[in-house]
Structures are given as C-alpha cells and as structure tokens.
C-alpha cells in the first residue's frame, strides 16, 4: 500500500519555480531518505506534505486520500507528524513535562485548566513508558536545556511519536550532531515499527544509507533518481550533481 504520494507537484513563489512536476511514492512501513544539494527543494517538499504551504499544481495523497487542500492540523489528525531542522522544545521544562504536554495535545484534557499535573495519571504513565522505551527515562526530571543536542533530537522524535503517527517526517534529524550524538539517533530511526512510515531529509549520505530502505535524490525541484544504496551510489547522474565526483576528477 502507498502511504504517501506526490502527484506532479509544482511550487512557485512568484517567478521562482521551486518544485517542478515532482513525483514521489512511499510505501507503507518504508523508511525513505530524501537527499540532494542545497536549494534542491527538500524543505519546500516537506512543507507541501505537512500542509504549511499549498502546491501551485498537483496533488498530495495519504493512503489514497487526497489531502492537497487539507490544513496542517487536519493532516495531523489523519496521522501525519513532523519534526523541524531547529529543535522546537520547551527548554525550561523537564523532559517529562515536555512529553506530557505532547500527549495532552491529543487528549480532551487539553481543555482543562485547573488540575494538578499529578492528577493526570494516564498521561504520566504513558510518558514514562515512552521515555523508557527510547532510553531517556533516567533523565525524565532533567530540564531540557541540560540535555545534549543529540538527546534533544531524540526527545523531539519521541514527541512526534507520541501521536502514534502513520507518517513521520524528520527534517534533518542529525543536523549539527557530533558522531557520538548521531549514534543515538540513527538506531532510533532504524528501530521504528513498520506501522510508521518515515520520510526524512538527510544531508549526510552515509547516515542516509544507514537509516533508509530506499533513497530519493532531489535536484532543482525534481526527482533525479530513486533506489537502494547500491543503485544510488552507482548512478552517474547522482555522482555528478550530488557527490561532485566529476569535478573532483577533473
């Protein structure tokens, strides 16, 4: 089954064409990397999928449902979750409090203003379970600002997973991470259950190959190539425009 499909999507900002006849099809349960040089249109494509901008032409489908005109919050209710390049957390709150707020956003308790946090036993239990599953339970009472950048990335992914998304968009999950911090995030993404389809932007090709089942290469707003690691590594067009091998050998 196709979880996510872009059908001939164009995006224009005035006279600037950012995406051109862009086609993408991601199978349910797949982990797909989206790579390409700066300015290829990767973040714009994510913004189209998540509903932050509307395409100038074409369609976006989620599990065969046309969501092209659906608002971002509607797509979230349908099972789409996203992280961003810049970590977006409540730095002065604890790790546990961040998770509870994420879970509460999905619950009717978000409309209740006058209850002690300790009374939300179900939310607390769910938060503890999530943190234990992903190895951050030992730091549940730490303020987020005290976590390493890699741990903050982990927490952001956990928050996205709290909604039990069918489709998870990760926008450069390893950006700015050290080698040790990247080693925290890569196995986390690889171990996500097949009930969640993952599409992620990644600037490091080696990391992309580690995390992805298949790779899509975007170039000047269009899909240049798709395939497995071996197919992408052996593609001369990818070598020329992305790896720069041609200029390196000149």
Q: What is the pLDDT of residues 30-74, one digit of tens each?
A: 999 999 988 899 999 999 999 999 999 999 999 999 999 999 999
pLDDT (mean) for 180-187: 89
- Lowest-confidence range among 81-90, 102-111, 154-163, 189-198? 102-111
pLDDT (mean) for 96-106: 84
State the number of CA atoms in the 13 A half-sphere of 170 facing the CB. Answer: 33
pLDDT at 149: 87
pLDDT at 123: 87
Greater model confidence, 159 or 111: 159
Q: Which pTM was predicted?
A: 0.87
Structural domains in the chain, sorted by start: 2-92+165-248 (3.40.50.300)
- Lowest-confidence range among 43-52, 138-147, 223-232, 233-242? 233-242
Contact 87, 160 (CB under 8 A): no
Cα–Cα distance, 197 to 116 (Å, whole number)? 36
In degrees, rounded to 5, the angle at the alpha carbon of residue 153 between the alpha carbons of residues 150 and 157 is: 140
pLDDT at 111: 47
Contact 235, 225 (CB under 8 A): yes
pLDDT at 245: 46
| Residue 117: pLDDT band with limits 50, 70, 90 | low
pLDDT at 237 over 60: yes
Alpha-carbon torsion (35, 36, 39, 45), positive or negative: negative
pLDDT at 24: 97
As a whole number, the mean pLDDT across the chain is 89
| Residue 85: pLDDT band with limits 50, 70, 90 | confident
- Measuring CA to CA, how many Å separate 237 from each of 32, 41, 226, 247? 20, 18, 11, 13
Greater model confidence, 177 or 44: 44
pLDDT at 106 over 80: no
pLDDT at 248 over 50: no
DSSP code per residue over 98-144: HHHHHHHTTSGGGG--SS-GGG-HHHHHHHHHHHHHTT-GGGTTSBG
pLDDT at 72: 93
pLDDT (mean) for 135-153: 92
| Residue 88: pLDDT band with limits 50, 70, 90 | confident
Tokens of 101: 């707020």
| Residue 110: pLDDT band with limits 50, 70, 90 | low
Tokens of 77: 């209710």
């Amino acid at each position: 089954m196709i979880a996510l499909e872009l059908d001939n999507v164009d995006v224009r900002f005035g006279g600037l064409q950012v995406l051109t006849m862009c086609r993408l099809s991601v199978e349910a349960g797949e982990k797909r990397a989206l790579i390409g040089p700066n300015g290829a249109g990767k973040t714009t494509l994510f913004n189209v999928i998540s509903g932050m901008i509307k395409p100038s032409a074409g369609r976006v489908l989620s599990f065969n449902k046309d969501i092209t005109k659906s608002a971002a919050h509607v797509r979230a209710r349908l099972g789409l979750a996203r992280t961003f390049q810049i970590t977006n957390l409540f730095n002065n709150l604890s790790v546990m409090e961040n998770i509870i707020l994420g879970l509460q956003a999905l619950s009717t308790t978000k409309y209740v203003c006058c209850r002690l946090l300790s009374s939300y036993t179900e939310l607390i239990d769910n938060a503890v379970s999530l943190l234990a599953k992903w190895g951050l339970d030992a730091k549940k009472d730490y303020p987020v600002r005290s976590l390493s950048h890699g741990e903050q990335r982990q927490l952001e992914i956990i928050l996205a997973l709290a909604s039990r998304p069918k489709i998870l968009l990760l926008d450069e999950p390893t950006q700015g991470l050290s080698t040790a911090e990247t080693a925290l995030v890569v196995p986390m993404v690889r171990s996500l259950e097949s009930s969640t389809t993952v599409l992620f932007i990644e600037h490091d090709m080696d990391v992309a190959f580690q995390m992805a089942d298949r790779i899509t290469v975007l170039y000047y707003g269009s899909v240049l190539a798709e395939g497995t690691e071996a197919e992408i590594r052996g593609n001369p067009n990818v070598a020329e425009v992305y790896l720069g091998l041609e200029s390196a050998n000149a």
